[in-house]
Chain A
Amino acid sequence: MECVFGLVGNDFAIVAADSSAVHSILVHKSNEDKIMILDSHKLIAASGESGDRVQFTEYVQKNVALYQFRNGIPLTTAAAANFTRGELATALRKASIFVAVAIYNKALPCPGLYKGGITSLLVYCITHRTRDAALLISNPYFVNILLAGYDKETGPSLFYIDYIATLHKVDKGAFGYGSYFSLAMMDRHYKSGMTVEEAIDLVDKCIMEIRSRLVVAPPNFVIKIVDKDGAREYAWRESVKDAAVPSA
C-alpha cells in the first residue's frame, strides 16, 4: 500500500511518497517522512519494511557523508546509486550469521558462543534443521528506493533501485500498488524538460488517481524536490491530519 514515485524535469528531479506507517491493519501514523535528504543535493525516497527502510537509508547516508569527508568532494548521484545497489546486492547473497547461530544454539543442549566458520555452521544447520536453514540463508533488505539527485556537470537524475538490487537510470519511476496508477498517469502526461509547475501538476494528478482508485489508499503524501539549489521539502498533500499531541 506504500506509494513512491518520481520524475525528472528540465533542471530538477521531484519525488513523492505516501506518509502512512502501517502495521497489519493498524495505521501507526500518517505523517511519516519517507524521503530522506541524503546530502545537500540528493534525495532518497524509500518504501518497504519500515525497520529495514530506516536502517538501510541511514547507513547509506552516513557512508555518503564519510566519502565526502575522506575525499573532500561529494559523491555523484550515479556513484551513490551504484553504492546503494552494491550494498543491496551484497546483503542478498550473504548468509545471515546471527540468525543461523540462534538456530545452532537452540539445537544444542547447552547453548554457547559459536566460534566456527560459516561453512561448518551452515552444514550443521542443514543437517539438523534443513527447512529453517534454507529459509534463513539470504537476508535482503526489503526496501525499494528512488534516488534523485542533481549534479553540476550532468544535471538532474533519477535512479530506480529495487530490493533485489535492480538499478535503472530513469526519467520516471514508481513503486508499490500506487505505481499501477502513477506510472500510467506519468506515461500519459510526462514530457521531457517539464517546468516545476507542470511536474507538480502531474504529481498531483497521480496522487488524485491513487486516492480515488487504490482500495486502501494512503491519505497523505510528501513531495520533495532537488535542483541546483539543493534538496528540500516542496509540499505536503494532506487529506487527514494527525491530531497534535498535547504537551504535558
Chain B
Amino acid sequence: MCTNRSVRKIVSLDDHIALACAGLKADARVLINRARIECQSHRLTVEDPVTVEYITRYIAGLQQKYTQSGGVRPFGLSTLIVGFDPYTGVPSLYQTDPSGTFSAWKANATGRNSNSMREFLEKNYKETSGHDTIKLAIRALLEVVESGGKNIEVATITKEHGLRQLEESEIDAIVAEIEAEKAAAEAAKKAPAAPKET
C-alpha cells in the first residue's frame, strides 16, 4: 500500500555525485542534507565542485564525530557514494560505515546479505560499461532479493546526464533477460549430459 517510489534509497548529492544508503532512513535524511549543503558550500567558497573523495571524507568525518561525543549515538547507516571527478571525469565508488571509516572500491555491497552479494561480485566483477554493468548489479541483487522490479531500485549516473533512476518496466526487462540467460545456462548444462545417458 506504500506509495511505491516515495521512499528512495538512492539520491543525488550534486550534479555529479550520488549516494545509496543502507540502515536507518531517518539518520540518512540528516546525513544527506548535511552532505548536500557541503556540496554547495564547497562550490561557493572555492568555486569548484567537490571530488567524490572529499565528500566521502566529509560524510565519514561527520559519522565519526558522533562516535566520540557525549550524549549522542552513531548514525545507523552505511553509505555507498559514487560519482565522477569534476575535471578528470574518472568515476569512483566509496563506502562509509557508522564508525566513520571509508575506503574506495571497484564493486561493493552494503546492508543485509551484503556478504553474499560481495562474494558474487568478487567472482563475477569485470570492468564493463553501460548495459552490462547494470546487468551485473542486478544479478548481484537477485542473489538475495526476490526478483521483480517492485523490490529493486536501480539508478545509473553518467557524466553527461547525472543521476537517472530506472523505470520499473526497464528493471523488469533486464530481470527477464537475466532469467532467460540463467535458464539457457541450465539447459546447456543438462544438454551435453543427455546424449551420454541415452
A residues apposed to B, CB below 8 Å: 58-59, 62-63, 65-66, 69-70
Cα-based distance from A58 to B40 in the complex (angstroms): 10
Cα-based distance from A70 to B39 in the complex (angstroms): 12
Cα-based distance from A59 to B37 in the complex (angstroms): 12
Query: What is the chain A residue whose CB lies nearest that of B12?
Result: A69
B36 contacts partner chain A, Cβ-Cβ < 8 Å: yes
Chain A nearest CB: distance from B102 CB in Å?
A: 21
Q: Which residues of B contact A59 (CB under 8 A)?
A: 44
Q: Which residues of A contact B93 (CB under 8 A)?
A: none
Taking A59-B44, A69-B36 as known contacts, 4 extra A-B pairs with beta carbons closer than 8 A to each other, sorted by chain A number, are: A62-B40, A62-B44, A66-B37, A69-B39
Q: Which residues of A contact B41 (CB under 8 A)?
A: 62
Chain A nearest CB: distance from B159 CB in Å?
A: 18
Counting from the closest, the 8 A-B pairs by CB-CB distance are: A62-B40, A62-B44, A66-B40, A69-B36, A65-B40, A58-B44, A62-B43, A66-B36
Q: Which residues of A contact B12 (CB under 8 A)?
A: 69
Q: Which residues of B contact A69 (CB under 8 A)?
A: 12-14, 36, 39-40
**B1-37 vs A: 1/0 string, CB under 8 Å?**
0000000000011100000000000000000010011
Cα-based distance from A58 to B13 in the complex (angstroms): 19
Cα-based distance from A63 to B33 in the complex (angstroms): 13
Q: Which residues of A contact B40 (CB under 8 A)?
A: 62-63, 65-66, 69
Interface residue count on the B side (C-beta < 8 Å): 11
Cα-based distance from A63 to B39 in the complex (angstroms): 11
Q: List 17 A-B contacts (CB under 8 A).
A: A58-B44, A59-B44, A62-B40, A62-B41, A62-B43, A62-B44, A63-B40, A65-B43, A66-B36, A66-B37, A66-B40, A69-B12, A69-B13, A69-B36, A69-B39, A70-B33, A70-B36
Cα-based distance from A219 to B103 in the complex (angstroms): 55
Interface residues of B in 29-67 (CB under 8 A from A): 33, 36-37, 39-41, 43-44
B residues apposed to A, CB below 8 Å: 12-14, 33, 36-37, 39-41, 43-44
Chain B nearest CB: distance from A244 CB in Å?
A: 23
Chain B nearest CB: distance from A236 CB in Å?
A: 23
Choose among A59, A63, A66, A70 the residue with the greatest number of B CB atoms under 10 Å from its CB: A66
Cα-based distance from A62 to B37 in the complex (angstroms): 9
Chain A nearest CB: distance from B10 CB in Å?
A: 13
Q: Which residues of A contact B44 (CB under 8 A)?
A: 58-59, 62
Query: What is the chain A residue whose CB lies nearest that of B35?
Result: A69
Q: Which residues of A contact B39 (CB under 8 A)?
A: 69
Q: Which residues of A contact B43 (CB under 8 A)?
A: 62, 65
Choose among A58, A62, A69, A70 the residue with the greatest number of B CB atoms under 10 Å from its CB: A69
Q: Which residues of A contact B33 (CB under 8 A)?
A: 70
Chain A nearest CB: distance from B45 CB in Å?
A: 10
Cα-based distance from A69 to B13 in the complex (angstroms): 7
Chain A nearest CB: distance from B88 CB in Å?
A: 23
Cα-based distance from A156 to B113 in the complex (angstroms): 52
Chain B nearest CB: distance from A51 CB in Å?
A: 15
Cα-based distance from A66 to B12 in the complex (angstroms): 11
Chain A nearest CB: distance from B116 CB in Å?
A: 33
Q: Which residues of B contact A70 (CB under 8 A)?
A: 33, 36
Q: Which residues of A contact B37 (CB under 8 A)?
A: 66
Q: Which residues of A contact B14 (CB under 8 A)?
A: 69
Query: What is the chain B residue whose CB lies nearest that of A59?
Result: B44
Chain B nearest CB: distance from A69 CB in Å?
A: 5
Choose among B13, B14, B36, B41 the residue with the greatest number of A CB atoms under 10 Å from its CB: B36
Cα-based distance from A66 to B42 in the complex (angstroms): 12
Q: Which residues of B contact A63 (CB under 8 A)?
A: 40
Q: Which residues of A contact B13 (CB under 8 A)?
A: 69
Cα-based distance from A65 to B14 in the complex (angstroms): 9
Q: Which residues of B contact A65 (CB under 8 A)?
A: 40, 43
Query: What is the chain B residue whose CB lies nearest that of A69?
Result: B36
Q: Which residues of B contact A66 (CB under 8 A)?
A: 36-37, 40
Cα-based distance from A62 to B38 in the complex (angstroms): 11
